[in-house]
Amino acid sequence: MDAKSHLKQKVNQFSVLSEEEWLDFSSRWKSLTIKKGDFIIQAGQTEKYFYFVHTGVLRAFMINNGIDVSVGFTYDGDFSGAYDSFLEQRPADWSMQATTDAELLRIGYSDLMNMFDLYKSVERWGRIFNAQMLIGIGRRQVEVRSFSAEQRFDRLFEQSPHIFQLVSQKHLASYVGMTPETFSRMRKQKLDKKD
């Protein structure tokens, strides 16, 4: 499936656009291919685009007191970007970098806002997407504030086992808040139990 068909499939999960709406909406999304290690945004820059990840993996992270802290990952079929910076058009507090080669689609701020104003179906997609984002952020807040690093590891292992093949152990360890050595030991224990 090509990138625009993939995007259409994901948009249609929240709101079905008419053919005319889809043609206009999809024409605003432009292809972007990036290499492993490339940034789509760095802390201090203002996010100008909203992204759809057709293939590849992106990592959101910040540097806190000299320590690289992973705050999230997006991969095939996810929407991505420094969304708070994008919506407020202010400098981002964190960076987003490709951890693999990636094929993306992106839409500019004014184009997306124009689509929201022009089409009720696109506005509906945006509203449902935003609701999903808020739910995810709320769940992540509960995890970070209430769960131990081991509990966060267990949840990640149960809810997103595929991510262990997509993202380095170092970055996943940072995401759950443990050392790479502890993460590696726990991962081995989990895999040994499955066998």
Q: What is the pLDDT of residues 20-37, one digit of tens each?
A: 999 999 999 999 999 999
How many Å separate Cα 101 from the centre of its chain? 15
Q: What is the pLDDT of residues 47-97, one digit of tens each?
A: 999 999 999 999 999 998 888 888 888 989 999 999 999 999 999 999 999
pLDDT reported for residue 167 = 79
Q: What is the pLDDT of residues 93-121, one digit of tens each?
A: 999 999 999 999 999 999 999 999 999 99
Mode of pairing for the β-strands spanning 95-98 and 30-34: unpaired
Topology at the third CATH level for domain 3-119:
Jelly Rolls (2.60.120)
Instruction: Please tell me the distance from the alpha carbon of residue 26 to that of residue 4, in angstroms, as a whole number.
Output: 7
* Confidence tier at 144 by pLDDT (50, 70, 90): low
* Confidence tier at 138 by pLDDT (50, 70, 90): confident
DSSP 10-44: HHHTT-PPPHHHHHHHHHT-EEEEE-TT-EEE-TT
Average pLDDT over all residues of the chain? 89
pTM listed for this prediction: 0.83
pLDDT reported for residue 113 = 97
Stretch 131-154: mean pLDDT: 78
Residue closest to 43 by CA, chosen among 113, 111, 93: 93
Asked whether residue 195 carries a pLDDT value surpassing 70, the answer given is: no
pLDDT reported for residue 17 = 96
pLDDT reported for residue 191 = 67
* 3 state DSSP class of 56: coil
pLDDT reported for residue 135 = 87
Name the token pair of 80.
């991505």
* 3 state DSSP class of 80: strand
Domain limits, the chain = 3-119
pLDDT reported for residue 62 = 93
